[in-house]
Every structure is written in structure tokens, then in C-alpha cells.
Chains A and B, each alone.
Chain A
Amino acid sequence: MPDQKGDKPLENGKKISRRTLLGGAATAAVVLAQTASGKSFQAALTKSELHLLEDPTKVPGVPPGTLGTRSPFEKPVKAPSDISSRTPLQDLFGTITPSDLHFERNHNGVPAIDPAKYELIIHGMVDKPMVFTLADLKRFPSVSRIAFLECSGNYRGAADGKITPQQLCGLTSQSEWTGVKLSTLFREVGVSPKSTWFLAEGGDAAVMTRSVPVEKGWDDAIICYAQNSEAIRPEQGYPVRLFLPGWEGNINVKWLRRIELSDQPFQTRQETSKYTEAIGGGKIRQFSFTIDARSIITYPSYPQKVEKGWIEIRGIAWSGRGKVVRVEVSTDAGKTWKPAELQGPVMDKSHTAFRYLWNWNGQSTEILSRTVDETGYVQPFLKDLLAARGGNMGYHYNPVTAWYIQNDGQVLFKAT
């Protein structure tokens, strides 16, 4: 590295350097600093100099950079397993999930796809089978919408109550998705009026496939190339994914490479042996796309400990059938319910933030939330959901979640 007019700390100490000016003692920290002429460098600071950092008005700050960074004091992270990674719902305040904290569910890893070589092929029951490059897709009229995306296998409990919102239902996230409406492409290729289903296929190592009703394609499906204003993250399907507002995560095929129009579903492995649920009476429900209304209190929640006095209960609510019209909160274990305040604008098929101001008297209790959506659906208790499905657990579990608050303020999960 060339000498920068003596600004750079030098090993031999012959030239005047910041390090020698500062005394040359053992390095205790490295910070970015800036010279009077505007050049930045990493300055080694000794322990005795660290007090300077305690007063940021006494040291030049970090100069502008090419990418923003999180404060080193903030460390929100996803919780990965072999097959998925969960959003830290308890660490978020608004309703847009930072893209690098959006949940993941992969079926054989995240593929590396060269955008220059990317192509989407649409064929089958169409007038004109066509191939679109990424550049082609970006030339079409575009659309953006904010919407949640949730895996339909997104409920876990814990008998000892020690489970965070992230572990409990962290497979839901929200972004602004941008792309071209699938209906626009349907018109371009001339989809046959006799076509009723289409296959969406990914270009990952699982070559993921799901069958989608053509009606949804005409309705509000988006072929997305952007998430929160930038290119979709690799974990979310870079360079292109299918987005079906309000529908279970799995069918929003990532790394989308092919769409085949047909007059029947393809009965792929994902929509038969997986993503189907026993509902009692020996029946197995299939093609259950829509996410039912749900909410979760993210504060206070396990493993937090709260103090007596004013607490703003906070959480998110959503429904795959439309808008959230009401969120009710109970602070007396479900005996009485009061409406929470919804943070507007309340959007269709979107995470909606809710708040409820509560003065806790220090006595043990349970706090709960439940969503009512615009179709009149009321988020059920776990026992009601179990009863409706013949005692079977499985996909599409959206029960009311309770947090038990002990006398000492410790918050624990409790099943309803």
C-alpha cells in the first residue's frame, strides 16, 4: 500500500504517523478515521485512547461509503436449520422485513444463476411458446406491491414455554415485490382459454415444481425481479421468482425458469406428499393455497422479562384473504378482548403492525392477540383448530398464541 503522505501508521516510525502521535502503545481497537485532507484510514487506538470513542463529538466519524452497514451494536440474525432459516420477528419494529432477514426455505440449497444467461420459458397450452430474458422481463410494464410471504408450515410450540416468536413462526416475512404481472406475459404468449393450471418450475437443484390455477395467474401473480427496490436476493429466488399474494410460501416458486400451461394439475411431489394436511375423517386436504388470518405478539415475548407498569404490547397481524380489519388483544388470559391500534396504511394481504397500551399490575397473567380479517374470519385458538381438523396437526396452523407473564416478569409461550 502506498504511503499516504504520512497519514498511514508506519512500522518503522521514521515518518510522523498518527500511531506515533498517539503514543505507539499496544493496539486496543481499530477505527476508521479521516484526515484533514479527507482521506480515510484505519487508525489503531490504544486502550487509554478508547475514552475518545465515548464522545463521538470528539472524533471524526466514518466517511461516506458504498454500502450501508448495521450498527455493530445491532445483531439481528436469522435462525437457520438444514432446510430453512427464520426471521427474527422479535427484533423488528415495522412491517418491511430487511431483505437479508427474510425467511428462507430451500429444497436443495440456493443456486448460483448468472443473470446474463437467465431465461424464462413459457409453453404448453399457448398460441406462441416464448422465451424471455431478464432484460425482456424488465421492459414490460411493471408492478410493485407490499405483501407478506409465509410458509404454510409455520407453527411450533414448546411445552416448557421457552420459544421465541422467531422459533414459533419466523417463517413469515414481508417485502415490496416488483416485477411484471404474469397476466401481461399470459397475453403475450396467448394462453388458451381452455388452460386451467400451470406448472411453475425452479432452476435450483430440487428443480422445484408446483401447479397453480391459471385464474391466479390472471388475477394478481407477479413474476418478480426485485425485492425492496433492489434485485431479489439469491435466497429469495435471484434473479426471478413467482409471487402469489396471500398464498403459501412453497408455491411462490423461486429461481423460476419455466411455466407450462395445462388443463390439469401436475400432482408434483410438493403438492401431494408435502403441503397437504390431514383434516379428519380420513381426508387429506390438497391445494390449500391461502394463508389464514393470523397474528403474533412480538413484544413482550420469550425470553424477555418485563417490569410492572406501562407496556406497549406490539405485534403483527396478517391474512392471505385480504385486509386485517381488527386485532383484539386480551391481557386477562382471554376473558376480555379490546381492540388494538392498527398502524396504517393497512394493506391487502400484508403484515399489519398493531399496538396496545397496557399498564401491568405485576400479577401473573396471559396476553393474547387475535386477527379478524375482511371476510369475517377470526383467528382461532389451537384447540378449535385441532377440533376442526380431526385432531391433526399439519400445514396451515394459525392459532392464537398466548404469552404467559409470571409474577417476576418472565415471559413464556403458552399454547391455546
Chain B
Amino acid sequence: MFCQKVHLMLVSMTKIRVITGVACLLFSLSLTSLQSLTTTKNGGQADTLKYPRTFGFGRTATLKEIAILDTDVRPDGKGLPAGSGKATEGKLVYAAKCSACHGATGVEGPNDQLVTIKNPTDPKVKVRNKTIGNYWPYATTIFDYIKRAMPFNQPGSLTDQEVYNLTAFLLHENGLIKAADIINANTLPKVVMPARDFFVPDDRKDGPEIR
């Protein structure tokens, strides 16, 4: 806004000051582009306009050190490592490293229920717990999360092979893939998650409406 005013002022200047005007105009335009890049609704960036182009603090990150930390997996599969897994193999890993917290079949707990109960016989089971099968919108999240944070008592200790196997096992237990299906960087992003279409972005907005 401020820069636009300066701009108009300069344009209206007399020819005598054209050279100065052009120089200022260029300066003004460069400020404008910087501001449009960084100014947002709270106007928080106005005070950074006087900042130098770079402070020169910090150092360039190497590809190697980025690779060590960059284990995240996106819904499109970006970040998934080489390798593959199968439900039958995952069942063994699950029994050894996961069942103590999540139950023998992923239903019993005591911690998060991972598998949807297929045919609840107990009439008291009214609350539909959130599981991978009925709530998780993306299959890639399973791989990402197990790899970074599980098992709870030994986070980050599983091999990519184990994580692929576990991912396949949990998808199969939830009825989302067949027992023989191979889960890898190509197949995992394509697994259709039933809850995917339930998810909507935040529909609340500023103002009096209660949502």
C-alpha cells in the first residue's frame, strides 16, 4: 500500500527529476515485490523490509544430513523407501513388538485400537472406536508413523522391511488388502482408505457463526 503511493507520487513528478524518479521507482518496485512476497493478513512483515537480503547466519545443509532426518512419507508416496512387505510376515512382527500395547488382534488394547471389529457380538460395543480401517484417510500415514514413533518403548528401532510388513498386516486385518498383496512404494499410496472422503477442510470462519 505504502509503496503504491510512493509509486504514484513519483509518476507525477516533473521531467526535470525523471532520472531520480526512475531510480526511486525501481527501488519502489523492488520493495513492492518483496512486500507482496512476505506480507500477510496480520501485516506481520512490514518491519522486515529493512532486513538485509541475507544475514549470513547458519550454514548450508548437506544432502547427507538431510537424508538422515528426512524419513517422512507423503500421501503420493514421496519418501517411501525401497523394499516391500506382506501381511503374513507382518503378523509375526506384530505379535512380537506390537501386541503388548495394541492387543492380540489389534482390537483389545490397552492402547489405541488399530483394527475395526468386523462383527461385534457384544451388544455393549456401541462406541465406534477410531481405527486405521474406519478413520485413517491415507495408507501412507501408517508407514510414516510406525517408522518414526513405534514401538512406543523402542521408537525408531524397526527396519524398513519390518515397517512394510507391519503396514501390510494392519491393512489386511482391516480388510483393505488381500493376504497375498505386496505393499511397496508403488502400491501403498494406491490403497483406498474408506474414510478418505469423510475428511473436509476447516469450515469455521471469523464471525458469529457457530460451527
Contacts and interface: CB of A to CB of B under 8 A. Distances in A.
A218 B72 contact: no
Interface in B54-92: 54-55, 57-61, 65-66, 69-70, 72-76
Interface in A370-393: 375-378, 380, 384-385, 388-389
Contacts of A262: 74
Contacts of A385: 210
Interface residues of B, number: 56
B200 A183 contact: no
Contacts of B187: none
A228 to B, nearest CB: 22
A273 B130 contact: yes
A276 interface: yes
Contacts of B210: 380, 384-385, 388
B204 A288 contact: yes
A19 to B, nearest CB: 51
Contact of A220 (B44, B60, B145, B206): B44
A20 interface: no
Contact of A267 (B42, B66, B140): B140
Contact of A285 (B48, B72, B202): B202
Name the prevailing secondary structure of the A interface residues.
mixed
A138 to B, nearest CB: 9
A201 B69 contact: yes
B149 A290 contact: no
Contacts of B198: 282-284
B145 A132 contact: no
A321 B55 CA distance: 32
Contact of B199 (A139, A201, A284, A388): A284
A284 B200 contact: yes
A207 B156 contact: yes
Interface centre among B45, B140, B207 (most CB of A within 10 A): B45
B45 A377 contact: no
A184 interface: yes
B41 interface: yes
A187 interface: yes
Nearest to A379: B210
A187 B51 contact: yes
A272 B141 contact: yes
Interface of A: 107-108, 121-123, 128-133, 136, 139-141, 181, 183-184, 186-188, 193, 199, 201, 205-207, 209, 215, 218-220, 257-258, 260, 262, 264, 266-269, 272-273, 276, 279, 282-290, 292, 321, 375-378, 380, 384-385, 388-389
10 contacts: A131-B61, A218-B44, A266-B74, A267-B141, A272-B135, A272-B141, A272-B199, A279-B203, A290-B202, A375-B206
Interface of B: 37-42, 44-45, 48, 51, 53-55, 57-61, 65-66, 69-70, 72-76, 130, 132, 135-138, 140-141, 144-145, 148-149, 152, 155-156, 195, 198-204, 206-211
**4 closest pairs, A vs B, by CB?**
A375-B206, A269-B145, A219-B40, A129-B61
